[in-house]
Structure 1
C-alpha cells in the first residue's frame, strides 16, 4: 500500500507519519521544505517537495498513491477562503487524475454548517468537493486543538486569555496526536468504503473557565480567562496587521458556531479519544510557558488554526 501524507511536520501530520512507520509502511510525504524533516525520519520516508496550492505539482506527487491523508494548508493570504479553494482544487485534481482509492481529510467541527463559520467554510468546501468525486473518503471532524494554546504563549505568561466565546459553554478539545491515531487507523483499515464522517472529540468537552483552571494546575501559574467583545477582538486583529477579509475569517470560526450550534456528530465512544488537556499541558505546555520570551510577539499568535485545520509548523 502506498500512502501519501501532507503536512508531515505539522502537529498532526508528524504523528501520522510515525504511526505509519510503526505499522511497517514507508509513506510518501508531501511538503514545501523536505529539509525540515528530522534526519532519522527522512531516511524512512519518500519525501517530495510540493506546494499544496500548485495543483499540477500535487498531481505529479501523488501518482500511484493508494490512500491520501490530506490537510488543507494554513493560509497566510489576504483572502483565506480563496486559498482554501486553491488547495481544494489540488486535492480534487489529484484524486481524479490518479484514481486515488481513498482519502482521509482533516476537517473540523462546524464544517457541517457549510456556510457562516469563517475559515471553517474552507474546510466545508473541501469536504463537499471530495464528496463530489465519489472517492472513498473519511472526513475527520476535529475539536479545538490543544496546540492552539501554544500560539498564545505571551498571554499565558501574562496570566490572561481573552476569548469571544461564552466562558461557560463547553466544546470539544483534542490532542493532535489523538487525531493522528484516528487518521492512521482509517488509512490502514480495509474495512470501510464510501463516505464517512468521523468526529474526534478528545476525552471530554471543556468550558474556557475549566480550561483556565486546568492550565493553572498544570503549569503552576495563575491563568485567568475573560470574554471580550467582538469589536475589541476585531480591533486587536486589525492592529496586528490582518486584512478585513482575514479578520472576519478568523472571527467567524468562533462567532459562526457561537449561537444555536450543535455538532452534527454527538460524543460517543467512537469519537472520544484519551489524551487529557491536563496531561498534555503538563508534558508539553508548561516548559514552553516557562521559557523566556526572547522574540517579538508574532501576530499569528492572535489567530488560532481553524478548529480542524493544521497548525503552523507543517
Structure 2
C-alpha cells in the first residue's frame, strides 16, 4: 500500500507519519521544506520536495499512490482564500489524473456551511472539488485544535485571552494527535469507498470559559477570557501586520459559526476522541508558560 502524506511537519501530519511507520508502511511525504522533518524518521520514509500549490509537482509526486492524506497548507500570503484555491486545484488534479483510490482530507467543522465562515470556506471549496470528481474521499470535519492555544502564549502569560465568541458558547475542542489517529486508521483501511464525512469532535464540547478554567489549572496561574468586539479584534490583528483579507478570513471562522450554527454531525462514539484538554495542556502548554 502506497500512502502519501502532506504537511508532514504540521500539527496533525507530524503524528500521522510515525503512526504509519509503526503500522509497517513506508509513507511518501510531500514536504516543501524536507529539512524540517524529524531526522529519526528519514530512513523509514520517502520524501518528495513539493509545494502543494504547484499542481504539476503534486500530480507528479503522487503517481502510483493508493491513498492520500491531504491538508491544505497554511497560507502565508495576504490572500488566504486564493492560496486555498491553488491547493484545491492541485489535489483535485492529482486525484483525477492518478486515479488515487482513497483520499482523507483534513477539513473543519463549519465547512458544511460552504460560505460565510472565513478561511473555512477554503476547506469547503476543497471538499466540493473532491466530491465533484466522484472519487472515494473521507472529509475529517475537525473541531477547534488545542494547539491553537499555542498562538495565545503571550495572552496566557498575561492572564487574559481576548475572544469574539460568546464565552459560554460550547464547541468541539480536539487534540491534533487524535485527528492523526483517525486519519491514519482511515488511510490504512482499504475496505471503504464513496464519500464520507467523519467528524472529529474531541472528548467533550467546551466553552471558552470552561477551557480557560482547565488551562488555569494546568499552567498553575489564572487565565481568563474576555469577549471583545469584532472591530477590536480586527484592529488587534491588523496591528500584528496582517492584511485586511487575512484578518477577515480569521474573523470569519468565528463570526460565521457563532449564530445558530449546529455541526452537520452530532457527537457520537465515532466522532468522540480521547485526549482531554487538561491532559494536552499539562503536557504541552504548561512547560511553555511556566
Alignment partners' CA distance in 1, 2:46 and 2:191: 26
Deviations 1:105-141 (A, max 9, x none): 0000000000000000000000000001111000000
Q: Which residue matches 1:183?
A: 183
Q: In the alignment, what sits opposite 2:13? A: 13
Q: Over residues 131-188 of structure 1, what are the superposed CA-to-partner deviations in whole Å (9 max), with x where a residue is unaligned? A: 0111100000000000000011111111110000000010000000000000001101
Larger RCO: Structure 1 or Structure 2 (Cα < 8 Å, ≥ 6 residues apart)?
1
Please give the alpha-carbon distance, in whole angstroms, between the structure 1 residues aligned to 2:222 and 2:94. Answer: 49
| 1:202 counterpart SS class | coil
Q: Secondary structure of 2:44's match?
A: coil
Structure 1: gaps (5+ residues)? 291-314
| Number of the residue aligned with 1:304 | none
Secondary structure in 2 matching 1:43: helix
Show structure 1 runs of 4+ deviating over 2 A: none
TM-score of the pair, normalised by structure 2: 0.99
RMSD, matched Cα: 0.6
Deviation at 1:91, TM superposition (A): 0.2
Cα deviation, residue 37, structure 1: 1.0
Aligned-partner Cα distance in 2 for 1:118–1:61 = 30
| SS of corresponding position for 1:141 | strand
For residues 251-307 of structure 1, the C-alpha deviation after alignment (integer angstroms, 9 at most, x for no partner) is 0000000101100000001000000000000011100112xxxxxxxxxxxxxxxxx
Q: What TM-score does the superposition give when structure 1 sets the normalisation length?
A: 0.92
For 2:93 and 2:273, the matched residues in 1 are separated by 33
Q: How many residues align?
A: 290
Q: Distance in 2 between matches of 1:230 and 1:11?
A: 27
Structure 2: unaligned runs, 5 residues or longer: none
Shift of 1:239: 1.3
Correspondence 1:1-314 to 2 at 5 A: 1-290=1-290
User: Hey, what's the Cα distance between the residues in 2 that align with 1:83 and 1:232?
Assistant: 26
CA distance in 1, matches of 2:64, 2:192: 20
